[in-house]
Amino acid sequence: MFNIAMDTCGGTCDADELVRNKTVVEIDNARKRKYFCVACVGEKHVVSLNVRQDTKARNYTALAWFSHHGGGSGGNSRQDTPLPETARHWQAKHILSKHVGRYIFTVSKCKSCTKHTTVENGVGATGRVEFSERTSDGRLYRFDAALVCGEPGSVVVRTVLEVRATHETSAEKREYCQEHGYMFGEFDAGAVVDAHKNAPADAVYVLDNLKIRVFECKECMVARKEAALRVENARLVAFADAEKKRVLAETEAAREAKQRFSDHEFYHETCTGAETRIRGDGRRLLLLQEHRYGREEVRACQQGGRRRRYRTVHA
């Protein structure tokens, strides 16, 4: 027993929706229509709409269902009771194709802002289930559902809708849709069924698109590059400042080292032992040094020599 079937026009039908709150005449007309099994692989077999006459005896919740050969012991039990994944899959496809305008979902958005978000709301489109296209090289692409625009015979696909029951849509199919400019949405089957079931009557509900196309808009790309450039410029300025300080420090250290070497060389050439020699004929030696190098340089050398010896003794 399952509640989704396909009519002669290729659209899906929900058994419960065909009979709930309908008159006897409307229900009788619905039973006379021709339906095909959606669970059959390959050829779609004819199924019948069954309406429960008494729902109180065993607390049944289903008002109607589809079955092969009218149901009962003569039906195909394997096909009349499809796998839960198959049932949810077709329920979701029916909702997406028949209740266009009741749901909305995000198709694409910028990863950094909300200015370029595209939302599909179904306005101006009609739903098709099991919609297929064949390429020039013979490849066939079949979509679970599609939102199309235009008149019958010249419809144009606007959005492709895929239902995930056991596996996600192939990358090849998504690339095909993107190349042809089709918007794309993929939804969890159970989430679609639950969202539709729990939404208030005539209320619009939001579906979670599992394959939102995320991109970077031009404004955000320019802003990102400008921010990166500012960061890089700041890094270069900081590096240049640090390098300048390093060079200045090295230059100053080299100058001080050179000065120390010059002072050391001057002392040992002219002043070594000057204090000792002064005890003998020191006054004449001092006058000679002052005459050759100048009084200030000789005194500075003597003071430097004393400091060196003081540091050496107390080290």
Q: pLDDT of 137-154, one tens digit each?
A: 888 998 999 999 988 778
pTM confidence score: 0.63
Residues 254 and 276 reside in one and the same domain: yes
pLDDT tens figures, 89-115: 888 998 999 899 999 999 999 999 999
Residues 24 and 116 reside in one and the same domain: no
Spatial separation of the C-alpha atoms in residues 219 and 107, rounded to whole Å: 20
Say yes or no to pLDDT of 34 above 60: yes
Spatial separation of the C-alpha atoms in residues 153 and 134, rounded to whole Å: 15
Spatial separation of the C-alpha atoms in residues 139 and 155, rounded to whole Å: 20
Residues 122 and 47 reside in one and the same domain: no
Number of domains into which the chain is organized:
3
Say yes or no to pLDDT of 66 above 90: no
Q: Where are the alpha helices (DSSP H) in 71-148?
A: 77-80, 84-98
Once rounded to an integer, what is the mean pLDDT over residues 53-65? 67
Spatial separation of the C-alpha atoms in residues 177 and 174, rounded to whole Å: 5
Spatial separation of the C-alpha atoms in residues 145 and 159, rounded to whole Å: 9
* Cα–Cα nearest to 209, from 238, 174, 259, 176: 174
Residues 5 and 77 reside in one and the same domain: yes
Once rounded to an integer, what is the mean pLDDT over residues 153-157? 87
Q: What's residue 234's pLDDT?
A: 94
* Cα–Cα nearest to 118, from 220, 215, 222, 221: 215
Residues in the chain: 315
Spatial separation of the C-alpha atoms in residues 187 and 159, rounded to whole Å: 13
Q: 102, 204 in Cβ contact below 8 A?
A: yes
**CA torsion through residues 146, 151, 154, 156, sign:** negative
Residues 47 and 70 reside in one and the same domain: yes
Point out the domain boundary residue: 216, 241, 257: 216
Residues 256 and 236 reside in one and the same domain: yes
Domain range enclosing 16: 1-82
pLDDT tens figures, 217-235: 999 999 999 999 999 999 9
Q: 37, 130 in Cβ contact below 8 A?
A: no
Residues 32 and 157 reside in one and the same domain: no
Q: What are phi and psi of 113, to 5 degrees?
A: -145, 175
Residues 18 and 67 reside in one and the same domain: yes
Residues 253 and 301 reside in one and the same domain: yes
Residues 188 and 273 reside in one and the same domain: no
Say yes or no to pLDDT of 193 above 80: yes
* Cα–Cα nearest to 300, from 266, 273, 255, 258: 266
Q: What's residue 290's pLDDT?
A: 53
* Cα–Cα nearest to 165, from 103, 94, 105, 88: 88
